[in-house]
Amino acid sequence: MAEKSFNAFEMAQTQFDKVADILELEQASRDILRNPMREYHFNIPVRMDDGTYKVFRGFRVQHNDARGPGKGGIRFHPQETIDTVRALAMWMTWKCAVVDIPLGGSKGGVICDPHNLSMREQELICRGWIRQIARDIGPVNDVPAPDVMTSAQHMLWMMDEYEVISGGKYPGVITGKPVGQGGSLGRTEATGYGVVFTLREALKEMDIKPEDTIASVQGFGNVAQYAIELYTQLGGKVICVSCWDQGDQTSYTFRNKGGVKLTELQKITDHFGGIDKKKAKDLGYEILPGDAWIEQDVDILIPAAIENQITQDNVEKISKKVRIIAEGANGPTTPAADKVIEKRGIFMIPDFLANAGGVTCSYFEQVQSNMNHYWEKDVVLGNLDAKMTSAFIAVSDMAKKEKLYMRDAAYVISVNRVAHACRLRGWI
C-alpha cells in the first residue's frame, strides 16, 4: 500500500516488541501475539465484461480471537500485500482491546483496482471472496467490514452470498451494510467522529478551546470528511486537505487559508475521495503538492489516508506550531518518526485509539443485527461518544501515571488485555 521498502507488518511487530519489553511479557505470550493465529490466501476467478477471465488474489488474516470473534475490514487495492493485511489484522486486535469491546482482530483484502472495474465485476469479486472464505467467517467467529475502496454495497453483496451458501438469514455476518438491510445508523460517521471525540478530550486536557485551533487533514475519504464535519462544528478550522488523483496517479493538497468549506468540496469529489482540481481552483483553493499538508502552520495534524505517511524523511517538516496529531488512518506514523514526535512533545492520539470509532460502531451494528433490533442514531452516537471518551481517558491516565508516550500507553492497555485473555483460556 506504499513504497516497496516499507513493510507494514514489520512496523506492527516493532511496535509490539517495544511494548512487550515494557510489560516484560514471557516468551509464549510474545510468540502467540507477534504473529497471526491463521491466515488464508486464495484465488478469485472472475468472468470480465469483455468475456475474458481474470484471477484476483484474495486474503483473510485472523490475528487473535481470544477476546471474541475476529473483526476487521476488507480492502480493495491494486497494491495490497499480505504483509499489509497482517499488520492491519494485528492493529485490529489492539484496537478492539483498547476500547474494550469483546472482539479480536482480523483483516481482509483483494488485489484489484475498483477504478477500473465495472459494478458487475466488483460484485463478482465480492461474491467470489465470500465463496472462498465462507467456512471460516461468520457472526460468531469472524465478522468482516468495509475498508479502503469498499462500500456498503460491497458488504451487502457479500452478506447475500454468505446467506445463499448458509441457507439462512445472517445479517450479523458482516457490518457496514446499508441502513434498512441490517446496517446501523451512525456507522458512516463513526470513524471520523471518533477521531474528533478523542481530539476533543485531548484539547480539554491541554486546556485549549477548539475554536482557537486550526487543523490540516491528509485524505478526503469517509474518515476525513466526517472528522472535518464534527471538528468544524466544535469551532475548529481546517485550512487544507489532500487526496489522491487517479488520473495523474499522484496526490495533491488543497489549501484555503480562510477555511475549507466541506460541503462545496464534497460536491466536486468522486466516491473514492478524489477532488476535481480545476473546480477546486475555481472555488479559490490553492493546489499544492501532495505532501504539503504536513508542512502547514497549524495546531493539529490529522493523517486520515493510508499507512506510512509520517516518516523519518518528512517528520522534520512538521511545523513547530503543531501541538496534536490525531491519527485517523491505520499506521500513518513510522516508529522512527514517532521518536521525533515524542521528543518534540507533540501530543499523539495513536491510530488504534483515535480511529476505533469505526470498529466500535461496527460492534454496535453486529449486536443490533444479531438481535434483529435497531437503535436510533442518537443512541448509537451517544454510546460511541461514551466508549471513545472512556478509552481516551484510560490511555491518558496510563500515560501520565507511567510517564509513557500515548502510543505506548495504548499498547500497554491493549496487549495486557489480550495476553490476559490468552492466559485465562489456557493458551499460554
Q: 419 is written with which cell numbers?
A: 495476553
Q: Please state, in angstroms and rounded to a whole number, the distance separating the CA atoms of residues 370 and 408.
A: 35
Residue written as grid cell 482540481: 277
**Residue 243 vs residues 17, 305, 306, 318: alpha-carbon distances, Å:** 33, 8, 11, 19
Q: 50 is written with which cell numbers?
A: 469483455
- Among residues 21, 29, 13, the alpha carbon closest in space to that of 427 is found at 29
Mean pLDDT by 10 residues, the chain (428 residues): 70 93 96 97 98 98 98 95 95 96 98 96 98 96 93 97 96 95 94 97 97 95 94 96 79 91 90 83 90 95 90 94 95 92 96 95 95 95 97 97 95 97 96
287 phi and psi, to 5 degrees? Answer: -105, 110
Element (H, E) at 88: helix 82-98
Q: CB burial class (10 A; 0-12, 13-18, 19+) of residue 414? A: buried
Catalytic residue numbers, as ranges:
107
164 phi and psi, to 5 degrees? Answer: -60, -45
- Among residues 1, 83, 99, the alpha carbon closest in space to that of 36 is found at 83
Are 38-183 and 188-354 the same fold in CATH? Answer: yes
Domain extents for the chain? 38-183, 188-354
What class, spelled out in words, does domain 188-354 have in CATH?
alpha beta
Q: For residue 201, what are the β-bridge partners?
A: none
Q: Please state, in angstroms and rounded to a whole number, the distance separating the CA atoms of residues 349 and 410.
A: 9
pLDDT value at residue 307: 80
CATH 3.30.390.30 fits 38-183, yes or no: no
Neighbours of 151 (CB within 10 A): 18
pLDDT value at residue 71: 97
pLDDT value at residue 250: 82
pLDDT value at residue 326: 98
Residue written as grid cell 499523539: 348
Q: 58 is written with which cell numbers?
A: 484474495
Q: 240-269 burial string, b = 16+ CB within 10 Å, else e? A: bbbbbeeeeeebbbbbbeeebbbeebeebb
Q: Please state, in angstroms and rounded to a whole number, the distance separating the CA atoms of residues 174 and 189.
A: 18
**Residue 293 vs residues 56, 216, 307, 427: alpha-carbon distances, Å:** 34, 6, 15, 45
Provide Rg for the chain, Cα atoms.
21
Q: Please state, in angstroms and rounded to a whole number, the distance separating the CA atoms of residues 364 and 151.
A: 18
Are 413 and 394 in contact, with CB atoms under 8 Å apart? yes
pLDDT value at residue 320: 94
